[in-house]
Structure 1
Amino acid sequence: MKCTHLRWMVAFWTLSTFNAAAQKSSEYNWEHLPKVVQPTFRKDTINILSKGAKPDGITLNTEVINNAIITCSKKGGGVVLVPKGLWLTGPIELKSNVNLHLQKAATLLFTTDKSKYALVEGSYEGKKAARNQSPISGIGLVNVAITGKGIIDGNGDVWRAVNKAQLTEGEWKEKVASGGIVRPDGKVWYPSEQFLKASTEGKSMLLTEGKKPQDFADIKDFLRPNLVVLTQCKNVLLEGITFQNSPAWCLHPLMTENLTFRNLTVKNPEYAHNGDGMDIESCKNFLIEGCALDVGDDAICIKSGKDEEGRKRGMPTENGVIRNNVVYNGHGGFVIGSEMSGGARNIFVYDCTFMGTDKGLRFKSVRGRGGIVENIYAKNIYMKDIAQEAIFFDMYYFVKFATDSPRDESPVVNEGTPIFRNMKFENIVCHGATKGIFIRGLPEMPVKNITIENATLQSEIGVELIDAAEITCKNITLYTAKTEPIVAIENSQALVFDKITLGATAKRFFTIAGHRSQNIKVLNTDFEKAQQKITWKDGATEAALVK
């Protein structure tokens, strides 16, 4: 115990010392990005139509499709072809060396008969959990793909609860008429009485010691599956397909290596609870390019397990390239966390557009997660109509603050302390947001060594930094609607503001608060558009400003 405590105290001391020579955010090379191995397949093709499948939207084709995949794999692999048509099916299990290829005008529609989905051991937000079998799944596969121009539809509406406030009056009436049950207060529709009971009673789906999936039969309807789950696979390609209407997360590769998502369309309704687009969890070497996402939760999300279980797994999501993607609705465009206990590193995001997401670049965690997120680089990110923050870090995810004591100031560092450090964002444009930049670390572990360079941010509020360290904002133009202050700093250290330009006259440029605020530099910045340069409060003094 003493050794562990000493190790973490040494780490804290190292991270707390401002040393310019140790900064790593500029040590990267966009010309040498991570490489991803692509799968290869034989040309042999099995057409499911020739095996007796029927594209009438009524016949259940589960057995025919799965047998075709098994036969193809046993013969050395190839293509299983789904021609045009509406193919009703139950869960599909992928196999090694098989490319499931959907022609244009082909739709795989998953059955609403929940009895067809077995209870299995799965994962829920980074922990082992009982789940219904995913519509598409694969475990321990090599060389596997889903390609083509078709549609894969999870029929998710029969699995999800929905709030009345999220629907129009007509949609609500239609939902109630479809069956299910409405909560006594009339505000939420549930698919069944079983779902309502499990939800309102806070039933757990986690597979704790001694529990088996079959032990959760009494809440089966509550255990919504992710649409596609690929676990411990190698050389995976998803290309060209539209994935939509998932019961929960849409695409979930887990502990998978050499993963490519290319030219996908990923859609979930705005009201879809846990309706994430892509959750890349504990994966190594991945490429996401040319995709369009319009979803009900985080769009492109990096995860690596939750709390102690994630730390024991110890598999960071690493070596990734995310480029040329467009995100429409979503809680975040590019997201890391909050289940990132195994860490994340060496991820490059560029040439992406976020149109109407809640947040743009979103990083989130909380005490107890642990994990190190580092070496994250983003450039050429273009945002419009962001509902909340364009660039967002928060180490208090889902923490509710009391008004009289907003945060725990006790500086305890241990294996559950999350660390976010060493990142650079450049060429960022945001037209419309509540806040341009928001960074809130922990008193004992600030968000550290972040560079934001060459940015134009139009937002109601400019910049807010709380418990942040070694933050550099360089060549940034801030167009703010609320002009007091443009930049708010609280208990943050080793900050550099170089060439900050205001788009309009402001009452106050900086407010600097807290006795821990120190070593702040303001360079090449014209204060003329501010009626007042700096206000000091809550223990901060002019000594914090370094000339």
Structure 2
Amino acid sequence: MIRKKIKGDSFRPAAVLLLGLLSLSSLWAQEPARPIVQQASFPKDTLFIADFGGKGDGQFLNTEAINSAIAAASAKGGAVVSLPAGLWLSGPIEMKSNVNLHISREAILLFSDDFNQYKLVESNWEGEPAWRNQNPISGKNLENIAITGTGIIDGNGGAWRMVKRSKMTESQWKKLISSGGVVDSKSNIWYPSEGSLRGAQQKKAGVMRPGTTAADFQDVKDFLRPNLLVFTQCKRVLLEGVTIQNSPAWNLHPLMCEDLTVRKLLVRNPWYAQNGDGLDIESCKNVLVEDCTFDVGDDGICIKSGRDKAGRDRGMPTENVIIRNNIVYHAHGGFVIGSEMSGGARNIWVENCSFIGTDIGLRFKTTRGRGGLVENIFINNINMVDIPGEAILFDMYYAAVDPVPLVGEQKQAVTVVKRPVTEETPRFQNFVIRNVHVHGADKGIFLRGLPEMPIKNVLIEHAQISAKKGIEIMEASDIVLKDITLASQESSPLVHIDNSENVLVEGLKPVNPTDLLIELTGESSKGIVLRATDVQQVKQQSRLSGNAKKNALTIKP
């Protein structure tokens, strides 16, 4: 009822509009019940790898010994499989139901860099069915499984990954080239083999198409990097305590799982690691991620649900997720949704997390063609330090490039064209973000929707932001920014709103002298209210340009 009134009469008196927006902000805050995540449990019986012929000397290949121990533990109804002190070299490990693989503090599980150990298998890559090299750790249709301990799991990812020259010093680049491998024709990217380079030159190499088999991709096998750990359609999964690092592609990829707990992990990758994500939760239900630390090459904690038609056909949103008490150091984004979110995402809580040096803090990204509905996202108590990009970003024009341009690169300008709404049109709505503290960012808040599908129903409340630039809102509706303290180096304008409607900015507190407080552009802009703003250091409160209508903005004390 409230939303219909707001949209039906955007030029009604400002007091009525204000009442409607404040009522909406109260409505958004009504959270659904939080999920209860069922936990895995195991008998105390313990099997040791050495009893199955294993050797922790860094030379012996333990693939058969580890898999035999896991199979024996599952066959007896469940047990702990222990990896004691040592350097345990292995090929792909296949988990079984009712098994806890325990990595002791003094143990390293190191995966082989011999690609022949990894056969091509039917898998999934960035939300689509694809042929990939077998994951170092995998399991499908399992129940009650765990990887625990305080040891290290290393995916030997440097043997698999391509590396961009722009992310290396000159001496590092020369050393990389001298190690072998090949570079592309422009000498911009190093590949570990000719097959890896061939794969990069193909469009969607490995993606399954009718009539293709694994044999069709043998010549580009080296390019089809596996994610380090993939559990598919598993229930009651626990990942606790261990260090997961150096993955060929993503580190952790739970896919279509239910009742997943990720606790006290240290997840690492080199900062330059291509596709070196930390945790990608895809089409999962009932998830708890707590007390973890991430320092990776791509997104830190990421929510996904399939890509384009494949994701829409699967139709499995990631839902009922609690993410709390985590730290993310280097990453493209601290907490991320998208861009492969075609199956949707809903009912997600993120609280008490810190992002230190992530390219973007809160990152919500999608693009036309994805489809999918992302809604009911509740975020509270987030700290950010030294963010090179945006502290809070919503972007429906995502392109698969680094979020912060490297030296010599420039972001491509977006061509804004309104298109028909179809099943391929993505949607972001119903976000509540409270108590955010930012010390250093390029931009404080950035919202960019589509002309045919604005970003809707976003409340950002109680934020203290120190950034080079302030706030930019484009193609959005029903937005409330409340009690925002903003220390911006660039003061003209502090807030820019373009082609948006029903936006309330209440209690804005500029810290530094401000030449222009708010600039309104776009002939579609309407129902913009600026209220209870501290204007002591403001030279000019407002400016309308770019065909913006005079009655589109109301300023109230």
TM-score category by the smaller chain? Answer: over 0.9
Q: Distance in 2 between matches of 1:14 and 1:509?
A: 29
Q: Distance in 2 between matches of 1:407 and 1:173?
A: 39
Structure-2 residue corresponding to 1:539: 547
1:437-456 counterparts in 2 under 5 A? 437-456=445-464
Worse-superposed segment, 248-257 or 50-59: 50-59
Q: Distance in 2 between matches of 1:45 and 1:124?
A: 35
2:533 corresponds to 1:530? no
2:31 corresponds to 1:28? yes
- TM-score normalised by the chain length of structure 1: 0.94
Structure-2 residue corresponding to 1:6: none
Structure-1 residue corresponding to 2:103: 102
Choose the corresponding residue for 2:492, options 484, 489, 509: 484
Identical counterparts, % of pairs: 52
The letter for the 2-side match of 1:231 is: T
Q: Distance in 2 between matches of 1:22 and 1:164?
A: 49
The letter for the 2-side match of 1:532 is: Q
Structure-2 residue corresponding to 1:458: 466
Structure-1 residue corresponding to 2:529: 521
The letter for the 2-side match of 1:27 is: Q
Paired residues of 2:93 and 2:138 also in contact (CA < 8 A): yes
Give the secondary-structure state (helix, strand or coil) at the position aligned to 1:385.
strand
Q: 1:399 Cα shift?
A: 8.4
Query: What do residues 136-193 of structure 1 show as CA deviations (whole Å, max 9, x unaligned)?
Result: 0000000000000010000000101112221233322332232212334433211001
Q: Distance in 1 between matches of 2:41 and 2:30?
A: 34
Query: What do residues 203-253 of structure 1 show as CA deviations (whole Å, max 9, x unaligned)?
Result: 622101122223211110010000000000000000001000000000000
Choose the corresponding residue for 1:410, options 411, 414, 418: 418
1:9-158 counterparts in 2 under 5 A? 24-28=27-31, 32-158=33-159
How many pairs are equivalent?
533
Q: Distance in 2 between matches of 1:404 and 1:328?
A: 27
Q: 1:365 Cα shift?
A: 0.4
Structure-2 residue corresponding to 1:7: none
Query: What do residues 286-337 of structure 1 show as CA deviations (whole Å, max 9, x unaligned)?
Result: 0000000000000000000011110110000000000000000000000000
Worse-superposed segment, 407-416 or 328-337: 407-416
Structure-1 residue corresponding to 2:233: 232
Q: 1:411 Cα shift?
A: 4.3
Structure-2 residue corresponding to 1:3: none
Q: 1:354 Cα shift?
A: 0.2
Q: 1:196 Cα shift?
A: 1.3
Structure-2 residue corresponding to 1:429: 437
Q: Distance in 1 between matches of 2:134 and 2:239?
A: 20
Kindly report the root-mean-square deviation, in angstroms, between the aligned alpha carbons of the 2 structures: 2.0
Structure-2 residue corresponding to 1:497: 505
Paired residues of 2:160 and 2:222 also in contact (CA < 8 A): yes
Q: 1:43 Cα shift?
A: 1.0
Q: Distance in 2 between matches of 1:14 and 1:536?
A: 25
Give the secondary-structure state (helix, strand or coil) at the position aligned to 1:145.
strand
Q: Distance in 1 between matches of 2:91 and 2:5?
A: 54
Query: What do residues 2-39 of structure 1 show as CA deviations (whole Å, max 9, x unaligned)?
Result: xxxxxxxxxx999966865666421116xx52210000
Paired residues of 2:199 and 2:224 also in contact (CA < 8 A): no
Q: Distance in 2 between matches of 1:432 and 1:69?
A: 48
The letter for the 1-side match of 2:469 is: I
The letter for the 1-side match of 2:482 is: K
Paired residues of 2:397 and 2:414 also in contact (CA < 8 A): no
Structure-1 residue corresponding to 2:407: none
Worse-superposed segment, 46-55 or 281-290: 46-55
Q: Distance in 1 between matches of 2:4 and 2:198?
A: 49
2:172 corresponds to 1:190? no
Structure-2 residue corresponding to 1:374: 375
The letter for the 2-side match of 1:110 is: F
Paired residues of 1:207 and 1:213 also in contact (CA < 8 A): no
Q: Distance in 2 between matches of 1:153 and 1:270?
A: 16
Query: What do residues 325-363 of structure 1 show as CA deviations (whole Å, max 9, x unaligned)?
Result: 000000000000000000000000000000000000000
Give the secondary-structure state (helix, strand or coil) at the position aligned to 1:310.
helix
Worse-superposed segment, 191-200 or 257-266: 191-200
Give the secondary-structure state (helix, strand or coil) at the position aligned to 1:511.
strand
1:184-333 counterparts in 2 under 5 A? 184-202=185-203, 204-333=205-334
The letter for the 2-side match of 1:489 is: I
Paired residues of 2:6 and 2:502 also in contact (CA < 8 A): no
Paired residues of 2:418 and 2:450 also in contact (CA < 8 A): no
Give the secondary-structure state (helix, strand or coil) at the position aligned to 1:432.
strand
Q: Distance in 2 between matches of 1:277 and 1:134?
A: 15
Which consecutive residues of structure 2, in runs of 5 or more, have no partner in the other structure? Answer: 11-19, 402-409
Q: Distance in 2 between matches of 1:404 and 1:450?
A: 26
Query: What do residues 45-94 of structure 1 show as CA deviations (whole Å, max 9, x unaligned)?
Result: 10102222101100000000000000110110110000010000000000
